[in-house]
Amino acid sequence: MLTKTKIYLSSPHMGGSEQKFVNEAFSTNWIAPLGPNVDGFENDIQTYLGGNKHVAALSSGTASIHLALKILGVTNGDEVLCQSFTFSASANPILYLGATPIFIDSEKDTWNISPELLEIAIKDRIEKHRKPKAMIAVHLYGMPYKVDEINAIAKKYDIPVVEDSAEALGSKYFNRKCGALSDAGILSFNGNKIITTSGGGALIVNSDELKKKAVFLSTQARDNAPHYEHSSVGYNYRMSNVLAGIGRGQMEVIDDRVSARRKNFDFYKKHLSQFDDITFLDEQNGFFSNRWITCIETKSYELREKIRLELLKDNIESRPLWKPMHMQPVFKGYLHFTNGVSETLFEKGLCLPSGSNLSQEDLTRVVNNIKNTLKL
């Protein structure tokens, strides 16, 4: 039997200028880390995000979260609040630092961290003389979390926010860009994200001083001396000049990538929302999602699996929504404040193919497959 071409969940999509920047790195022998592409890429991101932000290009989104927590002062024995409904990379850096994660469930409106549960958790920890050192909120699948509500709580209790914007470059909250709405934002340029450097990330902070500190730590914490002198533990987390060249090319097309992904969402919604068994997450007033991945919530686990397996038969990749961190074996035993929202989403939700390079034919193939399954 002839297998149809594979449709991926989210595959890299080059714009055209990437090779030019990479070639420049080669022809000027800027192959060693650092160099003009790193500066250029950081400037591109700074300009794009707006505001008075300072950007450090790093080796991954995970490394960026690690350094964000580090420069906010998180250390051994501290507690850190973290959205439970996310990818494990949001939470792992808490453990790298010897700190303790406390997981907070989501709310139905945004699928992101529940302001209500967050405050309940903070009050509980303060009562027990364990005031959290930081909190990690995530714009999951590109949908902003309730930024004003979360920032108000952060201010009230004086706890800094790490804004995990790995999936949300191009998303906006009342016209302000996600990644630039907190004490420390992070981006990811992994291969499956809305733009990619094949692997990479960025840390976004509010002062040049904090940026310098992050860059210092990311380049082995070398003190100012002619020899190699170290008075603190460093990391090898800086982005390379070759990969930053890919990033510069990708930043030229970020707006196209956002509109293509939003069009995917509109197409799926137009063709599938007449079925009562499938629902979509709408934007709240003032929210603008990059629709990195189009997600559906089905009426049951059984239906979700039926759809997923029928798509697979047709060589179409789809995936259940993130399994909440409080359900993950690696985080077993850590305190969590839950309300059932993320567990239900994990049970019934599915990510549909959402690449910005999908053709109309691809999208139609996915929709027809799902329509046929619903008729089974």
Which of these ranges, 60-68, 127-135, 150-158, 276-284, lies near ligand PLP under the rule CB under 6 A? 60-68
Q: Give the separation between CA 202 and CA 208, rounded to whole angstroms.
A: 14
Q: Give the separation between CA 289 and CA 357, rounded to whole angstroms.
A: 18
Residues in the chain: 376
Interface with ligand PLP: number of residues (CB under 6 A)? 14
Does the protein bind ligand PLP through residue 138 (CB under 6 A)? Answer: yes
Please identify, using beta-carbon distances, which residue of 87 and 288 lies nearer to ligand PLP. Answer: 87
CA nearest to 57, candidates 76, 39, 73 = 39
Q: How far is the CB of 52 from ligand PLP (least distance, A)?
A: 24
Please identify, using beta-carbon distances, which residue of 350 and 370 lies nearer to ligand PLP. Answer: 350
Does the protein bind ligand PLP through residue 293 (CB under 6 A)? Answer: no
Tokens of 258: 């956002």
> In this chain, which of 10, 37, 62, 342 binds ligand PLP, going by CB under 6 A?
62
At a CB cut-off of 8 Å and minimum separation 6, what does 369 contact?
310, 311, 314, 316
Q: How far is the CB of 345 from ligand PLP (least distance, A)?
A: 14
Which of these ranges, 35-43, 59-67, 93-101, 305-313, lies near ligand PLP under the rule CB under 6 A? 59-67
Please identify, using beta-carbon distances, which residue of 62 and 84 lies nearer to ligand PLP. Answer: 62
When computed from its CA atoms, the radius of gyration of the chain, rounded to whole angstroms, is: 21
Question: Is 54 within 8 Å of 293 (Cβ atoms)?
Answer: no
> In this chain, which of 12, 35, 40, 61 binds ligand PLP, going by CB under 6 A?
61
Q: How far is the CB of 87 from ligand PLP (least distance, A)?
A: 4
Q: Give the separation between CA 103 and CA 83, rounded to whole angstroms.
A: 6
Q: How far is the CB of 376 from ligand PLP (least distance, A)?
A: 32
Please identify, using beta-carbon distances, which residue of 88 and 300 lies nearer to ligand PLP. Answer: 88
The residues in 36-55 that bind ligand PLP, with binding defined as CB under 6 A, are none
Name the strands in the sheet holding 294-298, side by side, starting at the edge strand that comes first in the sequence: 278-279, 294-298, 349-352, 319-320
Does the protein bind ligand PLP through residue 87 (CB under 6 A)? Answer: yes
Please identify, using beta-carbon distances, which residue of 164 and 183 lies nearer to ligand PLP. Answer: 164
The residues in 311-350 that bind ligand PLP, with binding defined as CB under 6 A, are none
Q: Give the separation between CA 19 and CA 248, rounded to whole angstroms.
A: 10
Q: How far is the CB of 162 from ligand PLP (least distance, A)?
A: 10
Does the protein bind ligand PLP through residue 60 (CB under 6 A)? Answer: yes
Please identify, using beta-carbon distances, which residue of 134 and 278 lies nearer to ligand PLP. Answer: 134
Q: How far is the CB of 351 from ligand PLP (least distance, A)?
A: 12
Q: How far is the CB of 360 from ligand PLP (least distance, A)?
A: 27
Q: How far is the CB of 262 from ligand PLP (least distance, A)?
A: 18
State the residue number with the nearest CB to ligand PLP: 61
Does the protein bind ligand PLP through residue 90 (CB under 6 A)? Answer: yes
Q: Give the separation between CA 315 and CA 307, rounded to whole angstroms.
A: 13
The residues in 145-204 that bind ligand PLP, with binding defined as CB under 6 A, are 164, 166-167, 188, 190, 201
Q: How far is the CB of 354 from ligand PLP (least distance, A)?
A: 13
Q: How far is the CB of 145 from ligand PLP (least distance, A)?
A: 11
Residues that bind ligand PLP (CB under 6 A): 60-62, 86-87, 89-90, 138, 164, 166-167, 188, 190, 201
